Amino acid sequence: MYRHIVRLLIYTILLSLPATGAWAAGAVYAMTNSLNSAGGNQILVFSRAANGALSLMQTVATGGGGSGLQISNVDVLGSQSSLVLDALHHRLFAVNTETLASNSSDCQQGTITSFNVATDGTLTIADRIASGGMYPNSLTVASTAAGEVLYALNAGGPGSPACSQPHLTGVPNITGFLVDAAGKMTTLPDSVQAINPGALNGTGSGENCPLFGTAPQSPTLNCGLNPPAFVRSAAQVRFSPDATQLLVTVKATNSIYVFPVDANGNAGVPVVTQAPGPGLPTYFGVTFDKNNNLLVTETFGKATSIPAGGAGAVSSFKVSATGTLTPISTSVGTGGTATCWVALEPTTGKYAYVSNNLSNAISSFSVGSDGSLKLLNANAAPAPTNGPNDLVVVGQDSTSSYLYVLNAGDGTVGAFKINLADGSLTSIGNVSGLPVNVSAQGLTGFSAPFPTPLVAAVLPASRSVQVGNTATAFGTVMNAGNTDAFACSIAPNGNLPVTFNYQTTNSSTNAVTGTPNTAMNVPAGGSQSFVIGLTPTAAITPAQVSLNFSCANQLSASVLPGVDTLLLSASATPVPDIVALAATMQNDGILHIPGNLGAGAFAVATINLGASTMITATANTGSATLPLALTICATDQNGNCLAAPTSLTSAASSTGSTPTFAIFGRATGSIPFNPGGSRVFVQFTDPNGVIRGLTSVAVATQ
């Protein structure tokens, strides 16, 4: 019977999951990248309205310092993805170069800041850690078999006698981090891999950046050290969609590195592809299309001089499992200058947008199913932007997507609605608040709430045991998505004095299967049943135990009191333990009330697995205020009330006895269908007023 009712609970919750069109609007994040002397690096959190418009709702410090003005006032980091979001784990990560002063070199090691993201998009700082090198300028994060793994690209270097860093590679590198459930980061010890930025001072191939020459900078910057010269530095690190590879672009040598990533999250020996032709700084930003083809911007395309006006381009490649790149479209021109950042429209996957930093234009491309590229509009933005750098596209629902652009020249974020029929852009205005013409870089965003396909249910909803005895309950977790969920586990939130275990079961018999406390996989559209056990080691007053149902590649299931929680109490002496189950008229776990002034009823059966007692039964709507009047009565074996229904009723409940009850609800207004929030709870208390049993059903008017 448990398994049947648990499935009903899950199905009613599935029915209440919001359609994509009903999602709240979400947030967009932009980074000031300011020096510590200028107030430090900060993240501006913009709330997204339903029409895509932005409004500032929070400014939060990273705890570190940015780069300030370095070389170019509209591209100070020379990179893409300096600010990244992990929607699966509600996390945001930001780089801090920790530069001492504008336009000056130093030997500072950078840092990375992690934030936890609330459902409304606001941020709380979680951790800050050394980046493993100088001048971190790009980040990437993915869910792997090892957990949440973050990589930083440290673009500063190579080292010099003045920069003592023997624990680093002495050259630019990538460094990996494992992120725990609280957002704390730990360095992956075998993850560091060197990036070769090319030779200095006129030797070697590629743009080798002599101190006096094509690089627009002062000799005091020690070309290629810290900060790195724009024309030489590595520009982006990015996980492949399946998190088995890491890609890094290097402008100076016109190269793309593809590192294999093992099961522990560590990067291995890379395959390096260098573009043919003149060794100019070209490869910059990357993204993947919906078929996992790689799209790469080329800052100056095939130009033979730097800078080169109107020479920007985009290429696409197939990436093999071994890391080799096969060209699809080669150097498709944008008509713009300094084509650096790229973003894919995620709803249709048919369009990509790039920002031309020095010609103040956004160009649009069509993306074929085979990864082929075609220029749609060299100047797709309806009005010129000022020093556009980072881009992000937020797919709000199946009919609307929005493009956001960080304009470093005037310190604004521009917003555009994307026409999904032809890829054209319509401006919906700019918001200000970022530093003007000096340091701003880093942009990302999301649609809220963070979507998760996981739902879970647990029965019974309460247990009350003696200290040292185990309270058990059965449950099911269902994956409503179209992607298999792997490494799924169950753990209690909080710090109650209990030992906890879980084990998979056969859904037909409830017999245990597998191995205790071993993660499970849940196929797309499938489910897995389980049994949990909590053994109190000390007395516990009734406490709602929320359970974290999480998978390595999915967000945790929402915590829904009375659905996937367990009310637990424990005492040093034997206590009543009322296990209660509810049955509704349509046998679907929902109290259906016909009309806004109608009435309905459901039944509850109990069994006392603990000490004998008198119990008092009441019905309520929990923390929700609903237009619903509730009464209850004890019933005989035929379901007839033993007395007129009232607000509460009492009955004797001896060990092993099975009292039954009827609950009546009369609506005084509309109750929308929301089984996660609109519920009727029936609770059973002992003579001391301690809750010893609980069950619930959803309620809605029709």
Q: What is the pLDDT of residue 402?
A: 93
Report which of residues 331 and 24 the model is more confident about. Answer: 331
Contact in structure between 313 and 338 (CB atoms under 8 Å): no
CA–CA separation, 84 vs 64, rounded Å?
16
Share of the chain above pLDDT 70, in %: 87
CA–CA separation, 531 vs 460, rounded Å?
11
CA–CA separation, 593 vs 508, rounded Å?
32
CA–CA separation, 121 vs 116, rounded Å?
9
Domains 19-446 and 574-702 belong to one CATH topology:
no
Q: Which residues, listed in sequence order, are joined to residue 142 by a DSSP beta bridge? A: 149
pLDDT, averaged across the chain = 86
44, 185, 188, 588 from 32: Cα distances, Å: 8, 23, 28, 52
Instruction: Please check whether the domain covering 1-18+452-573 is classified as CATH 2.60.40.10.
Output: yes
Q: 439-465 pLDDT, tens per residue? A: 999 999 987 555 567 888 888 999 999
Token reading at 338: 């300094």
CATH number among 1.20.1250.20, 3.40.190.80, 2.130.10.10, 3.40.50.300, domain 19-446: 2.130.10.10
Q: 572-605 pLDDT, tens per residue? A: 999 999 999 999 998 888 999 999 999 999 999 9
Domain chopping of the chain, boundaries: 1-18+452-573, 19-446, 574-702
CA–CA separation, 59 vs 40, rounded Å?
12
592, 603, 664, 683 from 667: Cα distances, Å: 10, 18, 10, 20
Phi and psi at residue 522, in whole multiples of 5°? -125, 115
Contact in structure between 74 and 82 (CB atoms under 8 Å): no
Token reading at 669: 């207004």
CA–CA separation, 185 vs 96, rounded Å?
15
CA–CA separation, 152 vs 257, rounded Å?
14
Q: What is the pLDDT of residue 414?
A: 95
Specify the pTM.
0.66
| CB neighbour list of residue 18: distance below 8 Å, 6 or more residues apart | 449
Whether 317 shows a pLDDT value over 90: the answer reads yes
Q: What is the pLDDT of residue 152?
A: 97
Token reading at 248: 């890094």
Q: Are strands 599-608 and 373-377 parallel, antiparallel or unpaired?
A: unpaired
Q: Highest mean pLDDT range out of 301-315, 336-350, 390-404?
A: 336-350
Task: Please state the rounded mean pLDDT for residues 63-86.
Answer: 90
Whether 204 shows a pLDDT value over 80: the answer reads no
Instruction: Please check whether the domain covering 574-702 is classified as CATH 3.40.47.10.
Output: no
Phi and psi at residue 124, in whole multiples of 5°? -130, 125
| CB neighbour list of residue 276: distance below 8 Å, 6 or more residues apart | none
User: What is the residue-wise DSSP string for 117-172?
Assistant: E-TTS-EEEEEEEEEEEE-EEEEEEEEETTEEEEEEEE------TTS--TTS-SS-
